[in-house]
Chains A and B, each alone.
Chain A
Amino acid sequence: MHIKKRDMRYNKSFKLTIWIISIIFILFILLPIIRILSLISPSSIFTQLLTPQNIDSVEITLYAATISTIIIIFFGFPLAYLLSRFNFPGKKIIDAIVEIPIMIPHSVVGIGLLFVFAASEPGGILFNYFGISFGYNILAVVMAYIFVSGTYAIKTMEEAIKSMPPRIEIVARTLGASQLQVIFRIVLPQTARSILTGAILSWSRAVSEVGAILIVAPYIIPGYESIAGVEVYNQFEVTGLEGAVGISSLLIIISLTIFIILKIIQGQERLFYVPRLRT
């Protein structure tokens, strides 16, 4: 017989207070999103949302965010491995450096990047040597994205590697696997889910970036398109609140889709390996 379990730990008025406070906060998050989406009528999808200008700017944003995420994983995985497996003096400092991008205002990141990579600066001179220029181009967007969003993927991968007992790698080596084989055949597959989660976190963080981009690439030459976050700001400046609804809604829909995919991946225990110690 099924007996409904009554939770007797908390009394009614206590529970009610907790609920009311929580709902106020949840509504605060939901209302602006719902309000924006409510302003679109199905008949105006093409005139409001999918205008050529919006599509262009979203395209650039997604493209730059994807490239930056690939670069983040490529450099970030070894860094995450370093932080989770090696012991060395100053490890805590390196760990803290990885977290800096979350702490500093992103417009400051833009200024910093310009000070290093603008044509007259050391990084810029080096770039120039290879025929590359920084600023008002996709490269600047990608680099700003990497700076502001890398932390999320690195930290996620670091935690995943840490949760995998090092002994597993030792056993794999006694079985004949070289250090690189251990990485590719054991560590990467076992942390694949976390790598993907980290990648999606970084990717979505990049997509929502505005501050740094306003400094390094407010528009992109030759077509003078802007990335989506900046485009929202531009359209708001030019046509006011109503005008920014289209591009804002498009961004919300894309972000929510990614968010749902992320949640599905996190729920799929067996699709990707979940590092967990089971005894």
Chain B
Amino acid sequence: MIEIENVSLNLKSFHLENINIKINKSEYFVLLGPIGSGKTLLLEIITGIVVPDSGRIIINNEDVTRLPPEKRNIGYVTQDYSLFDHMKVIDNITFGLRIRKVPKNDAYKSVKHIIEKLKIENILDKYPYQLSGGEKQKVSLARALAISPSILLLDEPLVSLDPKTREMFLEELKKLHEDMKFTALHVTHSLEEAKLLSDRIAIINSGKLIQVGKFKDIENNPGSEFVASFLGFDNIILENSLNEYLGIEKNKKVAFKSDEIEISEDGIEIEIKSIINEYDLYKINAKLGNSELVIKTNNFPEINKNRLKIKIKRFVIIQD
């Protein structure tokens, strides 16, 4: 279990403000936020490379805030793999154990199950420069897991991989967590990763924690316009005629996704401004009352005097 308690850090150009996160044992926790939101800085505080101005980091009930990185038993997987290029794969993986003076043979035995799970038996004698991106990231992951860390930190681990490798790695990571039940804090700006991997997520922006919870719950109930927009709700409008049509309270903002709208005769009327053909879909810019909205559809709609009726398949109400 790891607790981040009231952690604040003021840097010249950036402030991390009063961050509170509690990650349970075996939980896969995803910290989601745009680039430059403070995610990596928070990871660096957990590793011990950066000391916060205030607040505490507690790992398994021990306050480690002032402990150096080597005393924290943390696994750290970085986006650029950070492999030791002068060591063979097997020596990379067993590095943490060898530092702990575990004899080479015993070290190999204790990482064997990780190597088997990640299916990297055939590259153990290679050097990092001989590996593909996906293989490198597996080695980096195996190396971090080899020390049975109290928590595994993953900093945008899939960002340097090509799309196909990324998808495969994502599934393997999911499976590996199901098998090994390690505690993980995974930092990313990718919704897909958060959706697939997370038990819970936290959303961070400009150094502030915005919302914590299960992905589904936050998606169904975004606490702010920022969260909704970050989660892909590209229409966020305040239009009482719409609220009336949807049967919800007045003066509440409603968020919905441009591809979760259908054109339907018994829908609400909108005014078309323009239609743009984007490869296999049509993007319709329209107005509802005074608000602008975007609709994406696969078929060119039948329009009557610039008017169209739409039905919103799924919407959420912004609570702030």
Contacts and interface: CB of A to CB of B under 8 A. Distances in A.
Nearest to B78: A167
Interface in B51-89: 68-70, 72-76, 78, 80, 82-86
B69 A165 contact: no
Given A172-B95, A173-B47, A190-B85, 6 more contacts: A168-B83, A171-B82, A174-B48, A175-B143, A185-B99, A273-B85
Interface string A247-279: 000000000000000000000001001010111
A250 to B, nearest CB: 37
Interface string B8-38: 0000000000000000000000000000000
A53 interface: no
Nearest to A277: B80
A189 B72 CA distance: 25
A100 interface: no
A51 interface: no
Contacts of A165: 80, 82
Contacts of B96: 175-176
A120 interface: no
A279 B85 contact: no
B129 A167 contact: no
A55 interface: no
Given A181-B99, A279-B160, A174 B47 contact: yes
Contact of B95 (A175, A270, A275, A278): A175
Interface of A: 165, 167-168, 170-178, 181, 185-186, 189-190, 192, 270, 273, 275, 277-279
Contacts, number: 71
Contacts of B95: 172, 175, 177
A28 to B, nearest CB: 40
A188 B44 CA distance: 24
16 contacts: A165-B80, A168-B84, A170-B76, A171-B82, A172-B84, A174-B74, A175-B70, A175-B95, A175-B96, A175-B143, A177-B95, A178-B70, A185-B99, A273-B86, A275-B85, A279-B80
Contact of A170 (B69, B127, B160): B69
A177 B73 CA distance: 11
Given A173-B68, A176-B70, A178-B70, A167 B80 contact: yes
Contacts of B75: 174
Nearest to B68: A173
Contacts of B49: 170, 173
B78 to A, nearest CB: 5
B78 A171 contact: yes
Nearest to A186: B84
Given A176-B99, A177-B99, A279-B160, A168 B70 contact: no
